[in-house]
Amino acid sequence: MRVLVTEDDENLRVAVEASLRGAGFAVDAATDLPEADEALAVNAYDGAVFDRMLPSGDALGYVEHRRRAGWSVPVLFLTARDTVTDRIAGLQWGDDYLVKPFAVAELVARVRSLCRRGATLPAPVLRSGDLELDTGRHEARRAGTLLNLTTKEFLVLERLVANGGPVPRAELIAAAWDELVPPASNVLDVLIAQLRRKLGPPPVLHTVRGVGYVLR
CATH number of 125-215: 1.10.10.10
Percent of the chain clearing pLDDT 70 (strictly above): 93
Residue count of the chain, please give it: 216
Which residue intervals of the chain bear CATH 3.40.50.2300?
Answer: 2-118
In one letter, which amino acid is 205? L
What is the pTM for the complete model shown?
Answer: 0.56
**pLDDT at residue 131 in the model:** 92
- The answer to whether residues 145 and 139 touch, using CB atoms and an 8 Å cutoff, is no
Q: How confident is the model at residue 35 (pLDDT cuts 50, 70, 90)?
A: very high
Note the Cα 200 to chain centre separation in Å: 28
Q: How confident is the model at residue 121 (pLDDT cuts 50, 70, 90)?
A: very low
**pLDDT at residue 185 in the model:** 67
| The most confident of 52-66, 115-129, 173-187, by mean pLDDT | 52-66
CATH number of 2-118: 3.40.50.2300
**pLDDT at residue 118 in the model:** 61
